[in-house]
């Protein structure tokens, strides 16, 4: 399936074959971004297009296959189209020729089941005007915006863009600060970033870059060092940091090196609060101590990458969990946003990475089946902190700042 490896807001465009979904994308961009044809079914697989929408910024529009496709291959295309509901932040349902029937009603039901805001566009109004009775009926029955439109003559494209701005969830494009609520003007934030086999040549990993930018955006001072230079920093530098954020893999070293009166957490936990279901992570993490012999653990990576011999998700976490519990555990790793082969109920626990490459909606949708089935969920950094005995310290910066969790941790 299509990979959701982009943290920009995602907008899915749905509708029957030949309703002009690709033409609408071209109308947005003012150029032939998507292939269009009079032949129904030209778009066979979901295709991403990156565009800029005034008032929102860069977004990813996903052009999907027709929901009325038929035959064995057509049903597979429809299944891929419906898979997009798990990764998008809002949807556009394209109708044409005043046809609105069971396929559209079923799709709207899917929108509602996935808590997706959506609007309806009646396309090709230059060929067949919108029935005057249909728009009020749709608005009454579904309580959503309905726009009469022509992709060929997009004179009211600004109206469509305005409707998108109105219904796009603000959380999709206005990012919650990573640590802005934890620091004050001029505070020093120490970032411990190991340079090991998994560090990309000549650059830093995305979570580290994101935190540095967030520190600067919130008028803090970012200081970056490797784990071996932490002691030197504390001997030579002043003032002392208001917060220390470490790579999870060196949590034990950081815990030993950082004075107890200085808050300490990890990049992964910072991301967990911004993008994941933090309360569910907090409640689920202690379940690690309850794992039993033969339990199966699902590890969710949100990106695809070269697997090293010391890979955090595929090697280190399974090794650490097995050692901590003393149990023989089974592990499945699913990368990107690929389908999970086993029923979610086969798993005793789910461990999600930080999710730096995907949207909050995609992380939440990824975890929802497990949470709905009462399966404990946690995060890479929280797992590592827990099994090394520093979990309470690692989450304290957030618990102490008013996070409502309903759980007694300390």
pLDDT digits (tens, 9 = 90+) for 148-182: 999 999 999 999 999 998 998 876 666 678 999 99
Predicted confidence band of residue 407 (pLDDT cuts 50, 70, 90): very low
What is the percentage of the chain residues whose pLDDT exceeds 70? 87
β-bridge pairing 90-96 and 188-192: unpaired
Q: Residues 6 or more apart from 370 whose CB is under 8 A from it?
A: 298, 344, 347, 350, 376, 377
Cβ-based burial of 35 (10 A; exposed 0-12, middle 13-18, buried ≥19): exposed
Predicted confidence band of residue 6 (pLDDT cuts 50, 70, 90): low
Q: What is the pLDDT of residues 20-69, one digit of tens each?
A: 998 998 888 776 655 454 545 455 567 888 888 877 888 889 999 899 88
Specify the pLDDT at position 367: 93
For the cut 50, the answer to whether the pLDDT of residue 129 exceeds it is yes
What value does the CA radius of gyration of the chain take, rounded to a whole number of Å? 24
For the cut 90, the answer to whether the pLDDT of residue 77 exceeds it is no
Instruction: Answer whether 62's CB lies under 8 Å from 21's CB.
Output: no
Separation CA 267–CA 286 (nearest Å): 20
Q: What is the pLDDT of residues 268-305, one digit of tens each?
A: 999 998 888 899 999 999 999 999 999 999 999 876 54
Ordered structural domains, the chain, with CATH: 10-173 (3.40.50.300), 188-269 (3.40.50.11420)
Predicted confidence band of residue 403 (pLDDT cuts 50, 70, 90): very low
Q: Which helix (H) or strand (E) holds 25?
A: helix 21-29
């Amino acid at each position: 399936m299509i990979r959701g490896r982009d943290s920009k807001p995602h907008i899915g465009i749905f509708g029957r074959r030949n309703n002009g979904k690709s033409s609408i994308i071209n109308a947005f961009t003012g150029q032939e971004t998507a292939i269009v044809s009079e032949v129904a079914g030209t778009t066979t697989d979901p295709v991403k297009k990156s565009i800029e929408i005034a008032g929102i910024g860069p977004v990813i529009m996903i052009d999907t296959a027709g929901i009325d496709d038929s035959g064995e291959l057509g049903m597979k295309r429809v299944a891929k189209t419906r898979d997009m509901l798990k990764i998008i932040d809002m949807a556009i349902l394209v109708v044409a020729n005043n046809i609105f029937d069971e396929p559209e009603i079923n799709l709207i039901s899917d929108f509602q089941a996935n808590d997706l805001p959506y609007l309806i566009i009646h396309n090709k109004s230059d060929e067949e005007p919108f029935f005057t009775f249909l728009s009020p009926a749709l608005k009454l029955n579904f309580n959503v915006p309905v726009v009469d439109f022509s992709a060929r003559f997009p004179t009211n494209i600004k109206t469509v863009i305005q409707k998108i701005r109105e219904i796009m969830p603000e959380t999709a494009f206005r990012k919650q600060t990573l640590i802005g609520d934890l620091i004050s003007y001029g505070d020093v934030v120490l970032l411990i970033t190991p340079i090991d086999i998994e560090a990309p040549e000549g650059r830093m990993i995305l979570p580290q870059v994101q935190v540095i930018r967030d520190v600067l955006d919130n008028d803090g001072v970012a200081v970056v060092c490797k784990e071996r230079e932490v002691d030197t920093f504390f001997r030579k530098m002043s003032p002392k940091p208001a917060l220390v954020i470490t790579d999870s893999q060196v949590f034990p070293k950081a815990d030993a090196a950082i004075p107890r009166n200085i808050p300490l957490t990890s990049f992964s936990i910072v991301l967990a609060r911004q993008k994941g279901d933090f309360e569910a992570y907090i409640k689920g993490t202690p379940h690690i101590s309850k794992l039993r012999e033969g339990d199966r653990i699902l590890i969710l990576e949100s990106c695809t990458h070269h697997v090293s011999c010391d890979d955090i998700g595929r090697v280190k976490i399974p090794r650490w969990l097995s050692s901590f519990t003393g149990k023989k555990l089974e592990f499945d790793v699913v990368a990107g946003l690929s389908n999970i082969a086993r029923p979610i109920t086969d798993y005793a626990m789910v461990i999600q990475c930080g999710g730096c490459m995907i949207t909050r909606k995609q992380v939440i949708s990824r975890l929802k089946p497990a949470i709905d089935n009462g399966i404990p969920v946690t995060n890479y950094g929280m797992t590592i902190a827990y099994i090394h005995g520093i979990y309470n310290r690692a989450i304290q910066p957030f618990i102490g700042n008013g996070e409502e969790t309903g759980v007694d941790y300390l």
